[in-house]
Amino acid sequence: MSEQRLGDVIDDHCIKCRRLTNHSIVSVVAGQAAKVRCRTCYHDHDYRHEIAPPSKKELKRMELEAQAAEAQSALEAQGGQPPTPSVEAEEAPKAKSEHA
């Protein structure tokens, strides 16, 4: 990787232009672009490594997936057994008949 310097023009995804545009580097950290300025609309933003930010739809999906993963890990934390209502249904009548 060659070092990037202030003023270098690189490609990045501009959130305002919503596409890949030329950007000037306005901030460099450890030889890598940290902040860039779109050469089309002059909007400054963190260098995104040419990756488009997730859309609202994708954010929503990621949120749902995170919630599902959380629910799954919460289930596993409760003894590591998946819910088995069929076992309870089998045992309930037996217990009743023993009492009667």
Strand partners, 38: 23
Comparison of 28 and 48: residue with beta carbon closer to Zn ion: 48
Q: How far apart are CA 54 and CA 38, in angstroms?
A: 19
Site string for Zn ion, 1-30 (x = CB under 5 A): -------------x-xx-------------
Query: Of residues 25, 33, 36, 38, which one binds Zn ion by CB under 5 A?
Result: 38
Please report whether residue 36 would count as binding Zn ion according to CB under 5 A.
no
DSSP string computed for 37-63: EETTT--EEE--TTPPPPPHHHHHHHH
Comparison of 34 and 64: residue with beta carbon closer to Zn ion: 34
Which two structure tokens, joined as six digits, stand for 97? 């008949």
**Count of residues of this chain found to bind Zn ion when the rule CB under 5 A is applied:** 7
Please report whether residue 41 would count as binding Zn ion according to CB under 5 A.
yes
Strand partners, 11: 22
Query: Of residues 40, 53, 70, 91, which one binds Zn ion by CB under 5 A?
Result: 40
